[in-house]
Structure 1
Amino acid sequence: MDTFKNPIIPGFYPDPSICRVNQDYYLVTSTFEYFPGVPIFHSIDLVNWTQIGHVLDRPSQLNLDGTPNSRGIYAPTIRHQNGLFYVITTFVESQYGERRNFYVTAENPAGPWSEPVWLKGAPGIDPSLFFDDDNRVYYTGNRVPPTGQTHAKHMEIWLQELDVNKGTLIGDPVGIWDGALKIAHAQEAPHIYKKDGFYYLIIAEGGTGFTHAVTVARSKTIAGPYEANPRNPILTHRHLGKDAPITNVGHGDLVDTEDGDWWMVCLGSRPYGGMFRNLGRETFLAPVRFEDDWPVVCPDTGRIEEEMRGPNLPRQKVISSSIRDEFDQLELGMEWNMIRTPRERFYTLAEKPGFLRMKLRPETLADCASPSFIGRRQQHLSYNVATKLLFSPETQGEAAGLTLFHSQTHHYRFEVIYVQEQPVVRVVKREGTSDDVVGELSISETSIELKVEAHFQELTFLYRNQFGKWHVVAEKQDGRVLSTDRAGGFVGTYIGLFATSNGNENTTYADFDWFDYKGE
């Protein structure tokens, strides 16, 4: 049996959910404040995945205006029933704002997907749907226990029947579980499965950090009572040291193959340079075996490994994503995202063929807005990224370039900017609420190449003209600024292109000839 490498989808692709339709597998992940929302992937071997679209790709489906960093779309679940795909998820308005749950449907998983069906009376986050044998449909989510919390972040898993045709919850909600670990917190991400006469309830416990875990309970009836697996948690890495190559494993979803084998997709992180997780939470795959009518995850070692024995499925041809985008198509590739919902078309691939032309707008990367930005996820511990920029700033504050972006308050900008009546190329580190210029050189060229060499957590920023040598603008910069462990939140690092007029209205644009990303 062939082996495979974890993670199966590297980079900021957290909270995976999976379903199977015959021999085809489909997977979705969270996207928080990024647009389009909820990427959807396809595979026939559970190991090699190809993105086929986004579930939420229209502003009418996804209004992220004013959504803070690490809020927005949380933990989607994908299911299929009677020829129709369902994705249900939570929209989180802000840290303390409303949590609103909705679902969308599609006949073709590549889209188009329907407008959202917003559910009333559905508190909490991380919803899931379960389609029972009698054609009844059930909603599960988490909520504060009606009797009150016994400890911080204590949550209850609840269940209620759903009329999917009318988009309404029916009957009475029932609390079915408040966790297997009792003193654990953040009971969430419930998924129900039916096998051999048992309803299995899998949830996440312990929060999304180092103590993350997957637990399971079972019952003969869907409303309970549920009994805990005495082996709980069935998956965690919290018992390992913080120097383990994979940490904070949790948030699992099960799928069976046509041959009856079981697998789990889950999230985890690969820290480097210490307990720093620039890549965010990634998607991993783990084998599952049932013993004594209980699931056992990773039965060989009890943990997710970087290389494991793979599924007994025909391996599909690996379709590697190009590391170089020449911008010679009329639409951006699916790997590119924007920050929040764009309300105007700020870029074009048609106006100057072979170039990405970006309009300079007043919004900046430090604003809670939708700036002129397109980015793709960092997917390797070390990497080189470069672009060729054609740009002639003439007014104070006009800027364009590369960014290593985690959030409004934590990012690097490698920019050409007009300062004191001349253009300069500079590196700006933002950690908190102020900018720190860590390197700057005057330039006269209007066509230059920008490059960032990331050797683990050490960053070097270089530029050159078309025929010249590379000049170091800043070196030995700290990549840990881009880690959730410094910046907070739940997202990972993006590598992107941006253009801004820093608060001023104008008609200037920047042209990007190509973009290179190469992981090591």
Structure 2
Amino acid sequence: MPTFKNPIISGCYADPSICRVGEDYYLITSTFEYFPGVPIFHSKDLVHWRQIGHVLDRPSQLNLDGTPNSKGIYAATIRYYNGLFYMITTFVESVTGARRNFFVTAENPEGPWSDPYWLDDCPGIDSSLFFDDDGKVYVTANRRPPSGQQYPKHMEIWMQELDLETKQLVGEKYSLWDGALKYIHAQEAPHLYKVNGMYYLIIAEGGTGFTHSVTIARSESITGPYEGAKTNPILTHRHLGGNYPIVNIGHADIVETQNGEWWMVCLGSRPYGGDFCNLGRESFLVPFVWENGWPVVNPGKGIVEMEGIRPNLEKKRWPSEPVCDHFDSETLGFQWNFIRTPRGEFWSLTERPGYLRLYAKRETITDVVNPSFIGRRQQHIDFSVRTKMDFRPENKDEAAGLVLLQNQNFQYRLEYVEANIQLVKRVDGIEEVLSSIPYEGEQVYYKVEAYGQSYNFYFADHAEEWQIVYEHADGRILSTEVAGGFVGTYIGMYATSNGSTSENYADFDYFEYVGLN
């Protein structure tokens, strides 16, 4: 039997949501503090995916100013109804600030998507949409139970009707379910479905770490009462131990193919070098069937596998993406992100055609700001990155180069500063210069190679004439297990004047990313 390999989308693509329109499948994921927000992917066979854009690609849609790391855009849901695509999500302003929910619409999944419709009195996170047979539309999310929390992080799923004309919630809020796993905490990620006349509510429980899980309840009435499956949780990996190659399984959405098969997408992580997940939470695919009115995930096994039987759909491969971006276009490729909403004209692809120009902004990559940074996700356990940079620091404050970033407090920076190429390790906000090599050229080549948790840094003044800057740097500082938060490692180019006024800039000729596994 033909097989496929998990994850279906590698790297920090968490909280997948999926919908089908005819024979086309669309999938979106969370983006937290990164901009543009909510990448959207297209597939014909559920296995091969290509990115076709971002849902939130304009500052008018997404203001991330001051948003802390791992806050921002949480757990979006995508649905299609009556000729329109809908995306609903939660914007988490800060650690203790408001959780605000909104939705946007588009006639075409590639966009343009509308500006946000903010929902009043819509508490909680992980909002979702359900379109019922009678034309009514409902929003679900989580909240603290009105009667009070019985244990830490005790939440319940609530539902309310959405008026598509006024773009606001109407009528009564209904308490649907507070989960199957009492005292396991963090009931979230609700999705409602109607299958064979029954309403099904799939949620996540146990937090997004090792105890993560998928549970389900059903009801004859959309407002309940909801009965939990005796087989709950219907999917988890917490019983498999730390040596299984996929952990943190949870946060699921489901889809029926045009051929009548049922599939589930969910998030999971691949630890390596110990219990360390530098890639963040990725998107996985697993089959399920219905038995006695309940789903049975991956029958006979009950887990997500690294390799499984392919969906019964005609294989559709997309043209492979180039491993090297030569910056020949006037627009950035979909793989590139900024940290928070880009402010000011600090980058250009046209001022020097064939190069990405980054101006040395006052802002630094060590603060909760929008630095002069453009990066992409680490998507492989073993990988190689190369770039060529034209830059000469004009004073002690200016620096430019490559950064491997978990957040503002955990990172490696391979940078040209004053008359040196140096590697800086930043852990919990404290910096250490691991290596410094005298250099006064006007162009520099950088290379990073990672083999598991061993990261190796090189530079050259001529192509491929590499000199070691530092080898076997500890990659574990780039994992969520060390740095905290919900995102995976990013790799990118940056320039800074470290708070001083500067008109200097760095020109990057190309950026090559190659997965080595």
1:269 aligned partner: 269
Moved more, 69-78 or 180-189: 180-189
Partner of 1:110: 110
1:463 matched to 2:459: yes
> How far, CA to CA, are the matches of 1:317 and 1:491 in structure 2?
28
TM-fit CA distance, 1:468 = 6.5
| Of 475, 483, 491, the match for 1:495 | 491
Aligned to 2:175: 175
For 1:335-366, what per-residue CA distance to the aligned partner results, in whole angstroms no more than 9, with x for missing partners?
Answer: 00000001112111111111111101111110
TM (norm. structure 1) is 0.98
C-alpha distance in 1, partners of 2:423/2:50? Answer: 35
2:241 counterpart letter in structure 1: G
Quote the Cα distance in structure 2 between the aligned partners of 1:60 and 1:114.
10
- Counterpart of 1:333 in structure 2: which amino acid? G
Is 1:430 aligned with 2:434?
no
My pick for the range that moved more, 281-290 or 321-330, is 321-330
Distance 2:121 2:317 in 1: 45
CA distance in 1, matches of 2:140, 2:398: 49
Matches of 2:28 and 2:449, distance apart in 1: 31
Deviations 1:488-513 (A, max 9, x none): 00000001000001111110010111
1:42 aligns with 2:42: yes
The size of the alignment, in residue pairs, is 516
What amino acid does structure 2 have at the position aligned with 1:248? Answer: N
SS in 1 for 2:386: strand
Q: Is the 2:445–2:463 Cα contact (8 Å) retained in structure 1? A: no
RMSD over aligned Cα, in angstroms? Answer: 0.8
Q: Supply the AA of the counterpart residue of 2:344.
A: E
- The answer to whether the 8 A contact 2:388-2:446 is kept is yes
The aligned amino acid for 1:465 is D
Q: Deviations over 1:204-252 (max 9, x none)?
A: 0000000000000001110011111111000000001112100000000
Question: C-alpha separation between the residues in 2 aligned to 1:68 and 1:34?
Answer: 11
Alignment correspondent of 2:382: 382
2:386 and 2:464 map into 1 onto residues whose CA distance is: 15
**Aligned equivalent of 2:2:** 2
Query: Which of 488, 492, 507 does residue 511 from structure 1 map onto?
Result: 507
Partner of 2:472: 476
**CA distance, structure 2, for counterparts of residue 139 and residue 448 of structure 1:** 53
1:282-297 matches, within 5 Å, as: 282-297=282-297
Secondary structure, aligned partner of 2:432: strand
Aligned counterpart, 2:245: 245
Partner AA of 1:470 in structure 2: W
CA distance in 2, matches of 1:321, 1:67: 31
Structure 2 counterpart of 1:314? 314
Query: 100-109 or 349-358, which moves further after superposition?
Result: 349-358
Match of 1:486 in 2: 482
Q: How does 1:49-64 map to 2 (within 5 A)?
A: 49-64=49-64
The offset of 1:321, in angstroms, is 2.0
* Equivalence for 1:97: 97
Structure-to-structure mapping, 1:42-441, within 5 angstroms: 42-418=42-418, 423-441=419-437
Q: Deviations over 1:268-318 (max 9, x none)?
A: 000000000000000000001001110111113111111100100011123
CA distance in 2, matches of 1:467, 1:70: 37
Cα 1:468/1:156, change in 2 over 3 Å? closer
SS of residue in 1 equivalent to 2:481:
helix
**Partner of 1:449 in structure 2?**
445
Q: Deviations over 1:14-60 (max 9, x none)?
A: 00000000000001000000000000000010000010010000111
SS in 2 for 1:260: coil
- Report the Cα offset of residue 319 of structure 1: 2.8
Aligned counterparts of 2:134 and 2:232: Cα–Cα separation in 1? 30
Query: Where in structure 2 are there 5+ consecutive unaligned residues?
Result: none
1:23 corresponding residue in structure 2: 23
Report how far residue 467 of structure 1 moved: 5.0
Letter in 2 for 1:452: V
Kindly provide the amino acid, as one letter, of the partner of residue 336 in structure 1: W
Displacement of 1:453: 1.0
Distance 1:246 1:287 in 2: 16
- The separation in 2 between residues aligned to 1:226 and 1:181, in whole angstroms, is 14
CA drift of 1:137 comes to 0.5
Shift of 1:86: 0.4
Return the offset for 1:470: 1.2
In the superposition, relative to structure 1, how do residues 451 and 467 fare at CA in structure 2: closer, same or farther (>3 Å)? closer
Q: Compute the TM-score of the two structures, normalised by the length of structure 2.
A: 0.99
